[in-house]
Amino acid sequence: MLNFNQKTIKKHIMKHIQILTLVLLGAFVSSCEEDYLEPKLTSAINGSNYYSTPEQVESAVINMYDGLQGVNSSSGNDNHATQVEFYLTEMRSDNTRTKSSEGEAAQFESYNVEATNGIVEDYYRSFYNVIFRANTVLANLSNAGGSANQFEGEAKFVRAYANFNLVRLYGAIPLVTEPISPLNSEIAYTRVPVADVYALIVSDLETAVSQLNNDYRTRASRSAAEALLAKVQLTLGNYTAARTLLESVVTTGGFSLESDFSDVFYNEANSETIFAIGYAPGGLDSQNFSAEWLNAVGRTSGVNYVTADVRSAFEDFGGNRTAVSFRQDASQPEQYQVAKYFPNGELDAPYLADPTKAGNDWIVIRLADVLLLHVESIMAGANETIDPAALASFQAVRNRAGLMDSVTIVTKDVLLNERRVELAFENHRLFDLMRLGVAQDVLSNFSSTNGLGFSSTDVLLPIPQREIGLSLGTLSQNPGY
Amino acid sequence: MKIKSHLTLMFVLLGVAFGFAQTQLGGTVTDANGEPIPGATIIVQGTNNGTTSDFDGNYTISVEQNQNLVISYLGYISAIIQFTGQDNLSVSLSEDLTELDEIVVTGYGTQKKSHLTGAISKITNEKLDQIAVSRVDEALVGQVSGVNISATEGEAGSAPTIRIRGTGSITGKSDPAIVVDGLLVDNDYLGSLDMNDVASFEILKDAASGAIYGSRGANGVILITTKEGEEGKTKFSYNTYLGFKEARQSDAYSFSLADEAAEELAANGSLSNQTQRKLDIGVDRSWQDVIFDGGEIRSHSFAVRGGNKKTKYSTALNFIHDQGVLLTDDYKKYNIKLKIDTKLNDEFSVGINLSPSYANRRRFDGSAHDILRQTVWLPLYLDDNSIQHVNRVRDGGKYANAQIGDYAIQRMFDDWDMANNVAVTSGQDISNTSNTNPAAKVLERDRNDYKFKIYGSMYMKYKIAKGINLKSTIAGDFQNTKQDRWQGVQSNRNGASAANYSTNIQNRMHFVTDNFLNFDKEINGHEISAILGFSAEKWDTEYESLAAAGYQSDLLQTISAGDPTTIQGQSYDYAQRLISYVSRVNYAYKDKYLASFSFRRDGYSAFGPNTKYGDFPAASVGWNVAKEDFLAGNNVISNLKLRFSYGVSGNPFFDTGNVLVDNFPFLSLLGSQTAIVDGGSAAAFNPINIANTDLQWESSVEINPGIDFGFFSNRITGSIEYYERTSEKLLIDNPVSSTTGFSSALVNLGKVKNSGLEFEIRTKNVTSENFSWNSTLLLSANDNELVSFGASDGQIQNIDAKRAAEWVNSVGNPISSFYGWVVDRDIPLEFIKNPYHPIGAEAQDVYVKDLNGDGLIDDDDKTILGDPYADLVWSFSNDFRLGRFDLSLMIQSSEGAMVRNMGDQYIFNHFNSSQDYNKATTPDQQFIKQKIFTNDIVQDASYIALRNINIGYKVSDEFLKDMNITSARVYASGQNLFYKTAANYTGFNPESINDTSPTTYGYQRAGSPIFSTISLGLNVEF
C-alpha cells in the first residue's frame, strides 16, 4: 500500500536517487571507454609519425654522433662505443698495456682474448647500434627536404666508418643496410665476405665525398670522407685512387698543421683536426677514457699504460712530441701514462671536479695522419720512395716535431716509425701494422720479447659469444677462439 | 554497448517483489545453555522472507499458516519448525560439532568452506603478528602449501619474493595479486600493512579461483581481510615485542690468517715475506664480523575495536622499528588505520577505510661480495699497533698524515723493507687492491628510501530487494616515494672527486572503482549466488630526479653544494588504465553438489589497439561425498569432497627496465639525447625500443583436481591436489642480435608448464581441557617445464657481459637452466703462482671434463648443470597447549633448488693474478677453463630450518581482574634459530636471488644473510 505522506515520498525519492547515483557513477566512468584505455604519452616521442620534417630528420642525424660518443657509465650493458676502442686497438699493439695486468683488460695485452670478453661484445654491439642509427636516417630521407643530400652523405659516412672499424677488427661481419626486425636471422647471422663489406664501405664513402661540404669538424665533412676513403683504398691496395683523394684533402680542405704539437690535443678549435668525436665535460656527453688512462682515477687501476717498446721509439724518433705524448706516473715512477688526453685540458693543472666526466674530443682524422698517408700512397706498396711530393709531406710532419733534418728517402720502416710516434695512442697503431702487412711479424716479436701469448690467429678479435649463442649455431667463429 | 546492456539488467533486477501481508510471529533463539544467540537467521522456507535475531536473541517475522521456519546459526545444527498458529516460536539450537562451516573470502564475495570448488587456503592471524618481522609477507613462510616465500634480500624492510605454484610467468613479474578487503592493491601495499591489523589471509591458488581477477590472477591471488570491530563492549588491545637479530655467517667465507700461515709453513717449511708482514700487523678478523652487526626489532601496536548493532569500528596505531642485521641498515614504519562499517538502515550500509602509513628505510649501501673479499689482516681503523706499520713515504707521501682512528687502507702497508723492518719507497707489497677500507664504503654513504602512502576506500551497499544487493566501492591511494643517496669523500678510493649526491621523487595516484550486483537465492535446497559488475582502475605516476657531483667535503649534502656543471636531472610521467567486466554464478544443491562458473573480460592500456582485451573464463565442480546418505552415519569419514576446477587467467605486467617501454610497448618510442657539434650541444632523438603492435595478454590455463578429506569427526583433515598450469604467450623481453641496434625486444613467446602436487594434513592429536596438541604438515612439489619457445628454443644467454656465465632455455627442461662445463679436478697448488696470497684466495681456473672425448674443450662439452627451481618444499608445524602455556613450532625446508653463486668469484678472489696457474709448468692446459663457466659455482640451495618457535603464557584471570584487563599473554618467539644449508653451498643465504630475467634465473652475488631472531612480547586486551 502506498501512503502519500511526505516522509514516504522523501524515502522513495531518496531510494531512487541513491540507486541512480551509483548507476550513473558507473556509467560515467565507463562512458569514457573509448579513450579511457589510451592515456597520453607525454615523456617520449611516438616514433610512428616522427621523421616528417627536415628538423626531425636532422635530429636523427645528430643521434648518429651521439652513438659514436658512447655512454659514459660503468654498466657493462651500456654501449660505450669509442670510449672502449683503445682496448681493442692500442692495447693489442706494441704501444700500450694495463698497469697491473688485472681483469678483462689483461686479455688484450697478453693476446688471450676470449669470446666471452665483455669489451669485445660492448664494441660490437655499440657499432651495430651506430649503423642502426645511420640506417634510420637513410630510411627517412624522403622528408629531409633540401638537406637530403647532406644527410645522406653524413649517414653513409658514419655507416662506412662503423663498418670499416668492425671489418678490420672482426673480419667477415653481418652487413646491415636498413633497420631490420629481430626475426631477420638471415641478415643478423650471415657473415658477409670481407670484399663485399669493403664494396659497401667504398660506395658509401663515394656518396659522402660527392654530397658533403666542409662545414663541420665534429660532423661528417667532405674532407673527412675523402681522408677516410683514402685510408680504405690504401687498405685495399688502390694507391692511385688514395693519392688523388689525399691530395684533394690537403689542397682544398683548408687545414694546416698546428705549430705547437700540444695545441692539437688541447685546443679544440685547432686547424689540424679533420674529423673528431665531440665530448663536453660534466654531463651526459662526457667521456671516461681520459680518467681510465691515469692511475686509479677511473674504475680501473690504470689501463693504456705506455710500453717500454714505444718509449724507445720516441727516444729515437719523437722530437718535441715525446713530452706531449706520455709522461712518468708520479705515484708509480716506473710506469708511464699517456699525456695527450688529460681530463683537465692542460698537461699539469689539477683535475676537473670529476675527471671521470672529461670533455676531451676524440680526434679520428687529422692533417698529420693525411700527410703520412699521402707518403704511403705514393710508396704504393714498395719498400721505399724518393718522390719529392712524398718527401715534402713527410718533411712537413717532421719539421713540426722539431726534427728539421732534411729527408731524402722514406722507407717503409721509417714511415711506420714516424706514424707510430706522431699518432701514438690515437688508436692507429694496430691498423697501421695490419695495413702495411707487418702485423704478424711485429706483434710476434713483441710478444716473445715480453713473454706474451701471441699466435697468428690473434690479429682478429672473436665474434662475441653472445651472438654465437643467440644464433643457435649458424654464426661461425673466427679461428683460434 | 556493454554498458547499456548492464544497465538494462540492473534495472530489470530492480523489480522488487513485495510479499503479501501475513501473521507477525515472534520468538527467541537460544543455545543449549539458554544463552541468547544474536544474529541467528530465521527464514520462511521457500520464500525470500527472513530476519535475524537481535542482541537478546529475539526476532519477529511474518509467516503464513503451515509454512516452515528455518532457524540457523554458524556452528549450530539448523532447526526447522512448522508454523501452525503458535503465538511464540522460540527455539533452542544445539552445537554442530562435526561441521564448523567456516566462511572463506573468495574473489568479490564469500563462500562457505564446504562449498568451495577451487584451491583456496586460509590462514587466520592467531599468532602471525608475534613473528618478529617487519613485513606481513615475511611471516607467511611455510604457512600455505604451494606458496613459496623466499627472503631474497635480508636488508631491513626489503620485500621477499612470493611465488604461488612455481614460476609460471617468464616475465619479471611473477608476483601474485594482492587484494585487501576486497580491493586490488599494488604489491608494495604489503610493505605498508601491519600484521596486527590482519584478521586472515586467503590464498587463491588455482586459476578457477583466480580467474575472477582475470588480469592479475595468473600468479595466484592473496586476499587479506583486516580486522574489524565486533558488536559489544569496546575492546582495547596493545601488542608489543622486542627482538634481537643476528646474521648467520658463512663458514666458507671466514678466512683465517693464522690457519693459512700454518698451511704455508707445513708446505714450504718457512713463511714468505708477505705472510710474515701480514702477521706483524696483528689483525686477523673476518669482515663478516664487521658488516653483520646484528640489530634489534621492536613493534608496538595499539588498537581500539568495538561496535553496536549498527556500527562497527576498528582503529589502530602501529609502529615497527627494525635495525636490520647489516651495518647501517634500518627500517621504521608508522601506520594508522581507521575502519568503520555502519548500517544506516535496513537497506543501506556504508563503510570507510582509511590508512596512512610512512616508512623510512636506510639502505645498506655496499655490496657484500665486494666487502667480504677484502683481506682479513686489514684493520678497520688504525690503532696503536697498526699505526706503526703505516708507510708514510711511499706514493709521494700519500699517507704521511695517517692518524689513529683513520680508516685503514691496504696500500698503506705496502713497500716495506722486511730486513730492517722500516718503510721505504719501493719494497715488499702485501695489498691486493687499491680500494679504500671496505667498511668505509658503507659507513661513509647514506642512502635512504622514504615512502608515504595514504590509502582510502569507501563502499556503499544497497539492498535492492531480498537477496539482491548492489555494492559500489571507490578507493584511491596516493604514494610518494623519495630516495636519496649520498656517497661521501671517504667512501671511494678516488676521494672527493667521486663524492656525489642524487635524489629522486615518485608520486603515484591510483584510483579504483568496483560496482557489483550480488544475487543470492535459495529454492528448495538449490542455493544460487551470482555477481555481476565492472571495475575500472587507473594509475598516474610522475618521477623526477636530480644528481650532483664535485663535492670537496661532507659538510653540506645538498644539490646546490655540488659543482653546478655536474648537475643532471630527469623527469617523466606515464599513466596506466584498466577496465574489467566480471560475472560469476555459484550453485549448490543441498550442500552436496557444487558448481561455479565465472567470466571476466579485461582491457589494459599498455597493449596495442587490437589486443587490449583478454577474456578469462573459469568453471569448477565439486561433490560433497560426506553429505551423501551412504556416508551419513560413518564414524571414520566425516568430510570428503571431490572437486575439479578449470580456469583461464592472465597477466599484463612485465618489466623491461624502462617504464616508458613497459607502458607503451606498441609504439616505437624515441627518447632525447645530445651530441656535441663543434663545441656546442645539439639535440637528438634516439629510438629506445622495438615496437610490438601485437603484444597481448599472457594467459594461463589451469586444471586442478583435488580431494578434501576429514576423518574421525574432523580430527584429521586435509587435502590432496594436483595441478597443471600451462602459461602461454609469455611476455618476455627476449634477447636479440646486436645487429638490430638493440639488445632485446618485447614479445609474446613461449609456453611454460608448471605441474605439481600439494598435500596438506592437519591433525588434532590430543584435545582435552588441560592439554592439546595439533600438527600440520604441508608438502608441495612443483615441476617447471618449458614447453615451447618458438625460434629461440635452445638459446643461450648471459646476464652480464663481464661475468658471462651462461643459461640455456631449452624445450623439455625448466624455463632456465644453468649451462656450462663440468668440473673434473682442481689445479694442484704447486702450479699456482702464489697460492698463499691473498688470504682465502682460490685459483680462477679448474680442470673440466671432456664430455665428448675429443681431446678438446669447446662448446660441445657444455651441458645443463641444474636448475634454480625447488623440487619439494615442505613445512611441519606443531602446536601444544598445556594449561596456561602454549608452544608452537614450525620446521620448513626446500629441496632441489640450485643457485649460481657468483659471490665465490669475488670472495675467493678469483680475479687475482697471483692465483693464476703458471703457464710454463702446468700440464694439460687445454682442459683448463675458468670456474665461472663451470658447475663449481652452481651450488645446492636446499635448506632446512626451524622457522618459528613461540612459547607463551596466558596470565590467569584472577591476577588480571583488579587491573581491569581482560586478557594478557606473554611470549618468547624465535625465527631461524636453526638453519642448515647444503654441504657444497658456500654463501650465507641460499634464498637470495638477484632480480634478473626469468630466463636467466638463479643468480646470486653474495646478497644479504639469513638472520635469526629472538624476541619477547606481550599481548594485552582491556
**What is the chain B residue with the closest CA to A132?**
B741
Residue contacts between A and B (CB atoms, under 8 Å): 289
> Mean pLDDT throughout A121-134?
96
Closest by alpha carbon to B169, among B599, B608, B605, B732? Answer: B732
Percent of chain B whose predicted confidence (pLDDT) is above 90: 33
> Mean pLDDT throughout B522-530?
89
Q: CB B326: neighbour CB atoms within 10 A? A: 25
Per residue in A331-359, pLDDT (tens digit) is 788 899 999 998 876 545 566 667 888 88
Q: Does the pLDDT value for residue A240 go beyond 90? A: yes
Closest by alpha carbon to B876, among B972, B759, B797, B770? Answer: B759
If contacts are CB pairs under 8 Å, which of residues 565-624 in chain B contact chain A?
565-566, 568, 571-577, 579, 603-605, 609, 612
Residue A9: pLDDT band by 50, 70, 90 thresholds? low
**CA B961, B962, B967, B971 torsion: positive or negative?**
negative
Q: Does the pLDDT value for residue A252 go beyond 80? A: yes
Q: How far is B1005 from chain A (nearest CA, A)?
A: 16
| Cβ-based contacts of B841 with chain A (< 8 Å) | none
User: Are A281 and B740 inside 8 Å of each other by CB?
Assistant: no
Q: Does the pLDDT value for residue A44 go beyond 70? A: yes
Q: How far is A286 from chain B (nearest CA, A)?
A: 10
Give the three cell numbers for residue B904.
Answer: 665465490
> Mean pLDDT throughout A449-464?
92
Is the preceding omega at residue B814 within 30 degrees of 0, hence cis? no
> Mean pLDDT throughout A172-182?
94
User: Are A116 and B796 inside 8 Å of each other by CB?
Assistant: no
Substitution target in B516, B661, B676 with the highest count of A β-carbons within 10 Å is B676
Amino acid at B1004: Q
Of the listed ranges A79-93, A422-436, B32-46, the least confidently predicted one is B32-46
Per residue in B551-597, pLDDT (tens digit) is 888 899 999 998 887 888 999 999 999 999 999 999 988 888 999 99
Q: Say which residue, B438 or B102, is predicted with more confidence.
A: B438
Residue B16: pLDDT band by 50, 70, 90 thresholds? very low
Please write down the HEC assignment for all residues of A298-338.
CCCCCCCEECHHHHHHHHHHCHHHHHHHEEECCCCCCCEEE
Nearest CB to A470; choose among B549, B691, B795: B795
Q: Is B199 exposed, middle or buried (0-12, 13-18, 19+ CB in 10 A)?
A: middle
Residue B94: pLDDT band by 50, 70, 90 thresholds? low
Of the listed ranges A19-23, B657-661, B692-696, B768-772, the least confidently predicted one is A19-23
What per-residue confidence (pLDDT) applies to B331?
Answer: 93
Q: pTM above the 0.80 mark?
A: yes
CA distance B371 to B599: 53
Residue B33: pLDDT band by 50, 70, 90 thresholds? low
B9 to chain A, any CB pair closer than 8 A? The answer is no
Q: Does the pLDDT value for residue B689 go beyond 90? A: yes
Q: Does the pLDDT value for residue B725 go beyond 60? A: yes
Residue B1: pLDDT band by 50, 70, 90 thresholds? very low
Amino acid at A383: N
Q: Does the pLDDT value for residue A2 go beyond 50? A: no
CA distance B754 to B168: 6
Q: Is the distance from CB of B647 to CB of B702 less than 8 angstroms?
A: yes
Q: Is the distance from CB of A282 to CB of A344 less than 8 angstroms?
A: no
∠ Cα B753 B754 B757 (to 5°): 140
Give the three cell numbers for residue A170.
Answer: 672482426
**What is the chain A residue with the closest CA to B572?**
A43
Give the three cell numbers for residue B572.
Answer: 617523466
Compute the residue count for chain A: 481
Q: Is the distance from CB of B118 to CB of B204 less than 8 angstroms?
A: yes
Per residue in B175-198, pLDDT (tens digit) is 788 888 877 887 778 877 888 888
Per residue in B924-981, pLDDT (tens digit) is 888 999 899 999 999 999 999 998 899 999 888 888 888 888 889 899 999 899 999 9
Helices (H) and strands (E) in chain A, counts: 21, 9
Closest by alpha carbon to A29, among B614, B475, B513, B459? Answer: B513
Per residue in B204-219, pLDDT (tens digit) is 887 777 777 767 777 7
Per residue in B98-122, pLDDT (tens digit) is 444 677 777 777 777 777 787 788 8
Q: Does the pLDDT value for residue A257 go beyond 70? A: yes
**What is the chain B residue with the closest CA to A270?**
B678
Give the three cell numbers for residue B974.
Answer: 624465535
Write out the DSSP string of B322-386: E--SSTT-EEEEEEEEEEEEEE-SSSEEEEEEEEEEEEEEE---S-HHHHHTS-TT--SB--TTG
Residue A409: pLDDT band by 50, 70, 90 thresholds? very high
Distances (CA, A) of A202 to A195, A217, B214: 10, 21, 57
- ipTM at complex level: 0.88
User: Are A44 and B740 inside 8 Å of each other by CB?
Assistant: no
CA distance B8 to B517: 13
Q: Reading across the β-sheet that carries B183-185, which strands appear in turn? A: B120-124, B198-204, B221-226, B177-180, B183-185
Residue reference for cell 560426506: B626
DSSP state of A45: E
User: Are B575 and A121 inside 8 Å of each other by CB?
Assistant: no
If contacts are CB pairs under 8 Å, which of residues 929-958 in chain B contact chain A?
933
Nearest CB to A469; choose among B568, B686, B797: B797
Query: For residue B471, what are the β-bridge partners?
Result: B461, B516
Residue A5: pLDDT band by 50, 70, 90 thresholds? low
Q: Is the distance from CB of B738 to CB of A124 less than 8 angstroms?
A: yes
CA distance B73 to B56: 14
User: Are A62 and B675 inside 8 Å of each other by CB?
Assistant: yes
Query: For residue B952, what are the β-bridge partners?
Result: B886, B971
What per-residue confidence (pLDDT) applies to A437?
Answer: 93
User: Are B737 and A185 inside 8 Å of each other by CB?
Assistant: yes
Q: Mapping DSSP to helix (H, G, I), strand (E, B) and coil, where does residue A235 land?
A: helix
Write out the DSSP string of B762-785: EEEEEE-SSEEEEEEEEEEEEEEE
Closest by alpha carbon to A401, among A440, A445, A370, A368? Answer: A368
| Cβ-based contacts of B934 with chain A (< 8 Å) | none
Per residue in B1007-1022, pLDDT (tens digit) is 788 889 999 999 898 8
Q: Say which residue, B988 or B192, is predicted with more confidence.
A: B988
Q: Say which residue, B497 or A462, is predicted with more confidence.
A: A462
Q: Does the pLDDT value for residue A131 go beyond 50? A: yes
Q: Does the pLDDT value for residue A374 go beyond 90? A: yes
Q: Does the pLDDT value for residue A176 go beyond 80? A: yes
| Cβ-based contacts of B677 with chain A (< 8 Å) | 62, 65, 216, 218-219, 278
